[in-house]
Structure 1
Amino acid sequence: MRHLSLDQLQTLVTIADLGTLAAASQALHLAPPTISLHISELEARLGTTLLLRGRRGAKPTAAGQALIDDGRRLLKDADDAQARVRRIAEGRAGKVRLGTSTGVVVHLLPQVLRELARHSPDIDVELSILGSTETMAKLQAGQLEIGIVALPQASHDELTLRPWRSDAMMAFLPADWDAPELVTPPWLAGHPLISNDSSTQMYRLTANWFAEAGLQPRARIELNYTEAMKSLVAAGYGVAVLPLEQPYLAGSSQGLQIKPLAPALTRHLGMAHKPAAQLDAASRAVLEALEASAQPAV
């Protein structure tokens, strides 16, 4: 069974609005025979008269008025569908799956997403809290469009990996501890250590920092949730080496004091994704928002 034509419905609705076939012909930029053909085909398909034509114009029958009322809704739905497709094609709408760590989600992404929402409010970013290794695996499997991962990472032919930002690593200490202004590996190694687990890039970065000083301290506890690590530090359970992902004023905050490391240590983050030519417009819009917030190496 053939479906109703939206063009024919538009013709019927326009005649009802303007009162004559001639006015509809002018408004729709269609020849008068085409206008008449649209109505006659509709009437033939539905087996009923839709318009009563007279010298003063055309008026809908009861059946015609019912079709006009439903036709208005159908035409609006069609317009809305076309608008949604255009927004997706232009990168103003769509869903983008992004994987990254808790620290990035809590401290670095909110501002990016706020700016993205200002320009592309219909883009839905679906966040997954993952370690860098799992993020890279899901990118390769096509389960994510974008990942923010700790660098360095092994190169992958099917993925693009670019630097995004760099953050100084700092010593996070209980607020009431007596600590030096510059925290060294020997000083930290002499205190209970709260660390990321050995599968993470953060663990390897910190372990290498200790190793260069000839130290290999064992962690009191290993976690991969940055905010939980900070809570344990604030409770006096130990110390942690974490990136400074937000501005911090001198002194203590929420039971913490944050001190620079000596020697200095930096955590680097990158954006991982499929080649740009393989990404949809919404994913490219998210990447542009991330690029706008990029920070150089410290």
Structure 2
Amino acid sequence: MREISLDRLRTLVAIADRGSFVEAARALNLAAPTVSLHITELEDRIGAPLLSRKRGHIKPTVIGEALVERARRLLDDAEQALDDVQRQVQGLEGRARLGASTGVIAHLLPQALEVLRQQHPGIDTQIAVLASEETLSRLVDGTLDIGIVALPQPAVAGLVIKPWRRDPVMAFVPTHWKSPARITPEWLAAQPLILNDSSTRLSRQTTEWFAAGGQHPVARIQLNYNDAIKSLVAAGYGAALLPHEASAPSQDQRIAMRPLRPALWRRLGMAYRAGHVERSTQHVLDVLWALRLA
């Protein structure tokens, strides 16, 4: 069954509005025979007359009026669809799906989301709490657009992974403890510890940091939520090793933050698919990039 072209429907509506083939042709920038052909094709497709000519004035028939009414809605919907897509192409609207760890979501993403709200209110940023490996996997299969991942990562075909931030890992200890100015693996291993879950990159980094000092401590508890870890430190339950962002809010007065010796860093990267990047995704990438030194 042949489909009805929007161009044919647009011609019918133009004639119904102007009551003239000639005026419709002029409004649509078409030749008069083309306008006549459009109506002939529509009437052949419908199987009934769509226009009547009385006293030199052209009006839709009953069938024609029904089709004109539907045609107006279809044409409006088509224009709206094109406008919506154009706004996405221009980056005025759209969606960006982002995956990151709880620590990044808690302390870094809110700054980016605030900037996006002000500068690009039409972009819907959807966030998923994911480990780095799953983030990269979902970028590859197309269910994410941007990922914040721990570095280093092996190269992944089809993805761009570039360094984003380097934040120092610090010792967070209860204030009432008598702690040295710089924390060594030997001193910290002798304290009760609250460490990150063994599935995280930070856990592997801290294990290597202790091992380099000949230490292999066992944590009192392992968690994968940095704010919960800090709450336990504040309560005096133990000490922790956590990254510290320069823009993070002030610490609880019950927590003392000490640098490590040797120093340890948490490195993060931005990951996204290589090739064409949609404008909405690029806006989010640009805002995140601006936070690389924050």
Structure 2 length-normalised TM = 0.84
The amino acid that maps onto 2:74 is L
Which residue of 2 is the match for residue 222 of structure 1? 222
The amino acid that maps onto 1:42 is L
Listed one character per residue, the Cα deviations across residues 139-195 of structure 1 (whole Å, up to 9, x for unaligned) are 445553332111222334543221111223233344x63454834134433332111
Q: List runs of 5+ in structure 1 lacking aligned partners.
A: none
Aligned-CA RMSD value: 2.9
Which residue of 1 is the match for residue 183 of structure 2? 184
Matched, 1:38 2:41: no
State the 1:270 CA deviation: 0.6
Q: Residue 207 and residue 65 in structure 1: after superposition, are their counterparts in 2 closer, same or farther (change >3 A)?
A: same
Listed one character per residue, the Cα deviations across residues 244-296 of structure 1 (whole Å, up to 9, x for unaligned) are 2363566x53x752413143433111112332x16555444432332233228
- Matched residue of 1:182: which SS? coil
Listed one character per residue, the Cα deviations across residues 194-217 of structure 1 (whole Å, up to 9, x for unaligned) are 111333221232233334444332
- Which of residues 234, 259, 263 is equivalent to 1:261? 259
Q: Residue 248 and residue 272 in structure 1: after superposition, are their counterparts in 2 closer, same or farther (change >3 A)?
A: closer
- Matched residue of 1:202: which SS? helix
Which residue of 1 is the match for residue 98 of structure 2? 98
CA contact 1:21–1:57 (8 Å) conserved in 2: no
Identity %: 48
CA contact 1:169–1:260 (8 Å) conserved in 2: no
User: In the TM superposition, what are the counterparts of 1:233-244 in structure 2 within 5 Å?
Assistant: 233-244=233-244
Compare 240-249 and 67-76 and name the one that shifted more: 240-249
Matched, 1:273 2:272: yes
The amino acid that maps onto 1:82 is L
Matched, 1:57 2:57: yes
CA contact 1:172–1:242 (8 Å) conserved in 2: yes
Which residue of 1 is the match for residue 21 of structure 2? 21
- Which of residues 278, 291, 294 is equivalent to 2:292? 294
Equivalent-residue separation in structure 2 for 1:258 and 1:61 (angstroms): 84
Q: Residue 23 and residue 177 in structure 1: after superposition, are their counterparts in 2 closer, same or farther (change >3 A)?
A: farther
Q: Residue 285 and residue 247 in structure 1: after superposition, are their counterparts in 2 closer, same or farther (change >3 A)?
A: closer
The amino acid that maps onto 2:103 is G
Which residue of 1 is the match for residue 48 of structure 2? 48
Q: List runs of 5+ in structure 2 lacking aligned partners.
A: none
Equivalent-residue separation in structure 1 for 2:248 and 2:81 (angstroms): 47
Equivalent-residue separation in structure 2 for 1:54 and 1:215 (angstroms): 99
State the 1:17 CA deviation: 2.6
- Matched residue of 2:108: which SS? helix
Q: Residue 137 and residue 32 in structure 1: after superposition, are their counterparts in 2 closer, same or farther (change >3 A)?
A: closer
Equivalent-residue separation in structure 2 for 1:206 and 1:285 (angstroms): 34
Equivalent-residue separation in structure 1 for 2:94 and 2:159 (angstroms): 21
Structure 1 length-normalised TM = 0.83
State the 1:24 CA deviation: 1.9
Equivalent-residue separation in structure 1 for 2:254 and 2:11 (angstroms): 70
Equivalent-residue separation in structure 1 for 2:11 and 2:178 (angstroms): 80
Equivalent-residue separation in structure 2 for 1:139 and 1:182 (angstroms): 42
Equivalent-residue separation in structure 2 for 1:182 and 1:18 (angstroms): 86
Aligned residue-pair number: 292
User: In the TM superposition, what are the counterparts of 1:97-246 in structure 2 within 5 Å?
Assistant: 97-174=97-174, 177-180=176-179, 182-185=181-184, 186-245=186-245
Which residue of 1 is the match for residue 69 of structure 2? 69
- Matched residue of 2:229: which SS? helix
Listed one character per residue, the Cα deviations across residues 95-149 of structure 1 (whole Å, up to 9, x for unaligned) are 4432210011122112323433555545443322122233334444555333211
